[in-house]
């Protein structure tokens, strides 16, 4: 173990500057490499054994839907048997992994981070193909994956160190330590298919737990590539088991098993609430109450005051609303703007939006590409239609084309009223609802009038307005005079209130406590 590496202060992985020729060429080379690997078949992995099934499901390029990214053995075809085997393998591995010293567990994360860092463009290129991430968005995802590994490794060392307790008045020796929970069900999303998937999986692993990983059926290839990294670094068999399924059977069995101790989930509100409800029911033979760590989305707002820097607000809004086609739980889907600057700001945002280039993600100058799948395309286009039906007016975009891929134009709809469907419902697509308000009081009221509470932003030159936002804007991640996306590990611990989830604060100093329990030990002397 390299003590110096562990003791180095955590620093965020720098983003790649693709304006530099050498970086652009490196990315093009990685895209060519990945292109030659498209369409391969991938197995289930249980206790290190690679299991091929006759039943398959495919992952496709959303921007070119005839292009198969990977073909996967579908565990849903024999879900009860395979999930049972995976959980049993994890349970068996837990009996030894739980006692592996924290320093050794952390070292696996540092090794994984190095593997990914050494081939970062390769992993970014996979995301371009499988999830429609542009070069910059994919690079940010890869950097965040590295950050999670480096950060959680260091955090585990901190939690494993001697913990402060009050000196006892009795003649005894006292200590307080954290111990792992057991087998975890890891159910990550497709929209940050490397970063969130790796962060969810390895935060559980570094704290001494073992896992069954069910990747999103829209992004299984990237998850399997991470499994290859874990195999390369020699992570013991059974610590992470990979069970891909095309539907919900695998996840349901993982959640309901009496042998799973916790569920870590990122995804929609509907699925998150279902998991929360199911996990609360004790099963025969279950000896614990399961923990649920859930991050479930948002209906995030940027508030622009009359005294704001409108150019900065316009740029931040476009970046937050349309980055990765609006498919971030932190994305701006509501722009709440003072009526005194409404028309000017909307004009600026529309002008910036018209300049965005729509194309395939593998092209270096693409700003937006397709949404993830047909269901997302249908929801986006139907929500645009609903917005118009309820009195909205399209300022930019408004159309979709699914002939080649699932393309939705970056769309701005003004004249949206508080309470309208597109002002309340999460769309998860490049659709921005603009709400005009009379003053800042109304702006904050509208901003908070949602069942979610994930991110929010306020643009204002008035410090009193910003202070009110600190006190009154009920979100887990608040940004002032900047966009509401782009949380950095360690810098912006991430998680929201209300129906946005359990506010577990991924990338924060408390996150690992979700996967451990405290044990107080007193010895009489």
Q: Please give the Cα distance from 314 to 519 (Å, whole number).
A: 51
Catalytic, out of 305, 329, 332, 484: 329
Q: Where are the beta strands (DSSP E) in 11-130?
A: 40-42, 44-46, 49-51, 56-61, 64-73
Residues 6+ apart with CB under 8 A from 37: none
3-class SS string, 395-449: EECCCEECCCCCEECCEEEECCCCCCHHHHCCCCCCEEEEEEECCHHHHHHHHHC
Distance between CA 28 and CA 5 in Å, rounded?
Answer: 31
The end-to-end CA distance of the chain, in Å, is: 35
Q: How far is CA 511 from the centre of its chain?
A: 14
Is-catalytic flag, 128? no
Active site (annotated) includes residue 232: no
How far, in Å, CA of 304 to CA of 481, rounded? 9
How far apart, in whole angstroms, are the C-alpha atoms of residue 57 and residue 74? 6
Structure tokens at 441: 């009081």
Q: What is the DSSP letter of 246?
A: S
Q: Which structure tokens are listed for 289? A: 């109450």
User: Which of 130, 137, 155, 295 is labelled catalytic?
Assistant: 295
Tally of helices (H runs) and strands (E runs) in the chain: 16, 23
Contact 438, 411 (CB under 8 A): no
Q: Which two tokens stand for residue 118?
A: 């050494």
- So which residues are the catalytic ones? 295, 329
């Amino acid at each position: 173990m390299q003590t110096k590496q562990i003791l180095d202060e955590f620093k965020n992985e720098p983003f790649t500057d693709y304006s530099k020729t050498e970086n652009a060429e490196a990315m093009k080379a990685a895209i060519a490499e990945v292109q030659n690997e498209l369409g391969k078949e991938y197995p289930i992995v249980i206790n290190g054994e690679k299991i091929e099934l006759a039943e398959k499901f495919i992952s496709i390029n959303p921007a070119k839907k005839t292009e198969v990214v990977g073909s996967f053995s579908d565990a849903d075809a024999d879900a009860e048997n395979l999930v049972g085997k995976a959980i049993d393998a994890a349970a068996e591995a837990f009996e030894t992994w739980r006692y592996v010293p924290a320093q050794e567990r952390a070292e696996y994360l540092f090794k994984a981070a190095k593997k990914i860092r050494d081939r970062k463009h390769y992993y970014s290129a996979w995301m371009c193909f499988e999830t429609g991430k542009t070069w910059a968005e994919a690079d940010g995802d890869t950097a965040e994956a590295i950050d999670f590994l480096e950060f959680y490794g260091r955090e585990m060392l901190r939690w494993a160190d001697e913990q402060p307790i009050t000196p006892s008045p009795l003649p005894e020796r006292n200590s307080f330590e954290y111990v792992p929970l057991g087998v975890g069900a890891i159910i990550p999303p497709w929209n940050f298919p490397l970063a969130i998937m790796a962060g969810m999986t390895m935060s559980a692993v570094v704290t001494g737990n073992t896992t069954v990983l069910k990747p999103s059926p829209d992004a299984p290839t990237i998850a399997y590539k991470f499994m290859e990294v874990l195999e390369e670094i020699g992570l013991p068999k059974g610590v992470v088991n990979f069970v891909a399924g095309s539907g919900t059977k695998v996840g349901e069995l993982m959640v309901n098993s009496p042998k799973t101790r916790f569920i870590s989930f990122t995804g929609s509100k509907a699925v998150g609430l279902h998991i929360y409800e199911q996990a609360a029911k004790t099963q025969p033979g279950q000896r614990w109450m399961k923990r649920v760590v859930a991050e479930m989305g948002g209906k995030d707002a940027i508030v622009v005051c009359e005294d704001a820097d409108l150019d900065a607000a316009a740029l931040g809004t476009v970046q937050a609303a349309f980055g990765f086609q609006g498919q971030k739980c932190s994305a701006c889907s509501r722009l709440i703007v003072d009526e005194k600057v409404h028309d000017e700001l909307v004009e600026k945002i529309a002008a910036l939006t018209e300049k965005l280039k729509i194309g395939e993600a593998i092209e270096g100058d693409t700003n937006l590409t397709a949404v993830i799948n047909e269901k997302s395309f249908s929801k986006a286009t139907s929500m645009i239609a609903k917005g118009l039906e309820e009195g909205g007016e399209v300022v930019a975009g408004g159309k979709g084309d699914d002939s080649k891929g699932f393309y939705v134009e970056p769309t701005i709809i003004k004249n949206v009223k508080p309470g309208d469907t597109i002002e309340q419902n999460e769309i998860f697509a490049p659709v921005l609802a603009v709400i005009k308000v009379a003053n800042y009081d109304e702006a904050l009221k509208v901003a908070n009038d949602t069942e979610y509470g994930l991110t929010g932003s306020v643009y204002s030159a008035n410090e009193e307005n910003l202070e009110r936002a600190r006190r009154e804007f009920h979100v887990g991640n608040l940004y002032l005079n900047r966009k509401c996306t782009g949380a950095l590990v360690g810098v912006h611990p991430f998680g929201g209130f209300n129906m946005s989830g359990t506010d577990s604060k991924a990338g924060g100093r408390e996150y690992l406590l979700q996967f451990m329990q405290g044990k107080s030990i007193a010895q009489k002397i």
